[in-house]
Amino acid sequence: MKVTYIKRKYLSGIVIAIILFVFVLGSYKLLWNNRNLFQKHDEDLAWYGIDVSFNPQDGRLDCKQHVHYINKEENSISNIYFHIYPNSFKYEDKAVFPPEEMSRAYPNGFSPGFIEFYNIELNGKPASYTIQGYSDDILMISLEKALEPGDKADILMEYGVQLPQSPGRFGYWDNTYNLGNWYPILCVYDGRGWNLEPYHNLGDPFYSDISNYKVSISAPKDFVVASTGKLIAKEEKAEQNIWQFEALSVRDFAWVASRKFKTSSMTIGDTTVYSYYYTQEAGERALDYGASALKIFNELFGPYPYETLSVVQTDFFIGGMEYPQLVMIDGSLYEEEQDDWLELVVVHEVAHQWWYGLVGNDQIYDSWLDEALTEYSTILYYGQRYGQQEEYRKYQDIIDKGRYQLFQIYRASENMDETIHRPLYEFEDWIEYDALVYGKGAIMFHEVRQEMGDENFIKVLKTYFENNKFQNAKPEDLYKACEAVTGQSWQNYFEQWLYDRN
């Protein structure tokens, strides 16, 4: 794998490697009577119950999904909105990949993905609904009667999902079926109202609330399934296995299926870390990197609250991608000569378990809040694990080949806007996004650390995590954590970096 096509996020991953050296020296059916299981755990959360029949030969899912929605807002609502991300893969002229990546996203030519609904019910009756959005990627269910604050709605959906032939977040290729952003998920309602942004073709354009899940996946017996949540049962049938997962207080639900998976595991504190792989030796190393990162971040930020975390080798051409309790890692990084990159990507994605998974944010409008902090958290890992001098030398080669210069080259260009804090759709391309959100963003956090000192900086991260876990944070929440620890305001300091003021 060439450096030039390591995940757009990992043009930035290259940046971190450099910054770290420079700066740190009878299938189980979930029906209405299962609802009490969720009500015992955070009763104000939405819950999802999904039964999936997985047909790998056709790259297809047939699903039955129940959603129990609670209006937690101060306003009444007349409609309920869902993202239906599979339809973002429906039209070639509206692809979620930039033009320069289409050949890697679709090696055999464009292949559509989509969702089609067979039935939608609201509170036991046929629902009135429309499909809308940029690529038919929003489902709006109309309510006969406005839902007042605290009121509840029960929604039943029956639908089919077609996966594209694509080694991306959502799709399948030679070794794995990647199921990220595959089901209807509630849009977030906040101070702006319903957030209905499309699947932008750069960054990680997602924004969701913490919810509870119970998912049953019926798959051919020769498949192994890695998933968000905890495997609570596995029922063996003549030709199928039924995998039953429970995931409480998570932001999303993803899974990966493969005939080739082998597994290894290691327990860190109360969490079992699993490595799913089809490249044996590197799969064991990936387990070590994931477990080491978990241990270090537990100490630096706060304890990881889930019982499982899976590091999964996948057909995935863009480096790595975070989901709750599961990270997808580009299978080509498991080649021996890519081991430094394997560690870098695994650690970055594990850091996202705290910054995005547990402390959420709007990744369209505030992408720096999780990405820049995750980038700098990866640097903290290297310092904690290897020390600041001798052990860094083994990374010198990857540093020399890296693109730390990307931000400096960008900065040297005339009339360039250095604004980090802007919505995804205002970045010109991945190079600009990487240079600013990852490169300049990580430098910003290093300068904050230098100004307030190591002890205060770690206290800030712990405070920010503790005050905002299981919620969606805003930049102001980070500023408040800084002020609570140091006794002074840091908003102007951050904004000098976040906006084009340098």
Contact residues for 53 (Cβ-Cβ < 8 A; gap 6+): 61, 62, 63, 218
In a domain, 157, yes or no: yes
* 3-state SS, residue 170: strand
438 pLDDT more than 90 = no
Q: Both 154 and 237 in a single domain?
A: yes
Confidence of residue 320 (pLDDT cuts 50, 70, 90): very high
39 pLDDT more than 80 = no
User: Which has more pLDDT, 431 or 245?
Assistant: 245
Confidence of residue 471 (pLDDT cuts 50, 70, 90): very high
pLDDT of 140 reads 98
- Residue 369 in contact with residue 478, Cβ under 8 Å? yes
pLDDT of 386 reads 85
Q: What is the mean pLDDT of residues 87-91?
A: 98
408 pLDDT more than 90 = no
11 pLDDT more than 70 = no
Residue 77 bridge partners (DSSP): 147
Confidence of residue 165 (pLDDT cuts 50, 70, 90): very high
Q: Both 288 and 333 in a single domain?
A: yes
Q: Both 202 and 151 in a single domain?
A: yes
How many Å separate Cα 496 from the centre of its chain? 28
Q: Both 175 and 231 in a single domain?
A: yes
Q: Both 248 and 276 in a single domain?
A: no
In a domain, 103, yes or no: yes
pLDDT of 412 reads 60
Q: Both 129 and 146 in a single domain?
A: yes
In a domain, 460, yes or no: no
Q: Could you say which of 351, 368, 385 is where a domain stops? A: 368
Q: Both 130 and 172 in a single domain?
A: yes
In a domain, 347, yes or no: yes
- Residue 353 in contact with residue 324, Cβ under 8 Å? yes
Q: What is the mean pLDDT of residues 207-215?
A: 98
User: Which has more pLDDT, 76 or 10?
Assistant: 76
Q: Both 213 and 237 in a single domain?
A: yes
Q: Both 48 and 156 in a single domain?
A: yes
In a domain, 459, yes or no: no
In a domain, 44, yes or no: yes
24 pLDDT more than 60 = no
Residue 297's CATH number: 1.10.390.10
Q: Both 9 and 137 in a single domain?
A: no
CA distances from 422 to 11, 358, 406, 445, 501 (A): 19, 23, 19, 17, 14
Over residues 327-379, the pLDDT tens digits come to 999 999 999 999 989 999 999 999 999 999 999 999 999 999 999 999 889 88
Tell me how many domains the chain contains.
2
Q: What is the mean pLDDT of residues 298-325?
A: 97
Q: What percent of the chain has pLDDT over 70?
A: 85
pLDDT of 42 reads 61
266 pLDDT more than 90 = yes
pLDDT of 228 reads 98
Which of 448, 382, 377, 449 is CA-nearest to residue 25?
Answer: 382
Mean pLDDT for the chain overall: 89
Q: Both 254 and 268 in a single domain?
A: no
In a domain, 86, yes or no: yes
Q: What is the mean pLDDT of residues 152-161?
A: 98
Q: Could you say which of 215, 239, 258 is where a domain stops? A: 258
In a domain, 393, yes or no: no
Residue 180's CATH number: 2.60.40.1730
Domain extent, residue 283, equals: 3-25+264-368
pLDDT of 435 reads 84
Q: Both 81 and 216 in a single domain?
A: yes
User: Which has more pLDDT, 25 or 502?
Assistant: 502
DSSP per-residue letters across 369-426: HHHHHHHHHHHHHHHHHHTTTGGGGGGHHHHHTS-THHHHHHHHSTT-----SS-GGG
User: Which has more pLDDT, 28 or 355?
Assistant: 355
pLDDT of 407 reads 59
502 pLDDT more than 70 = no
Q: Could you say which of 225, 258, 291 is where a domain stops? A: 258
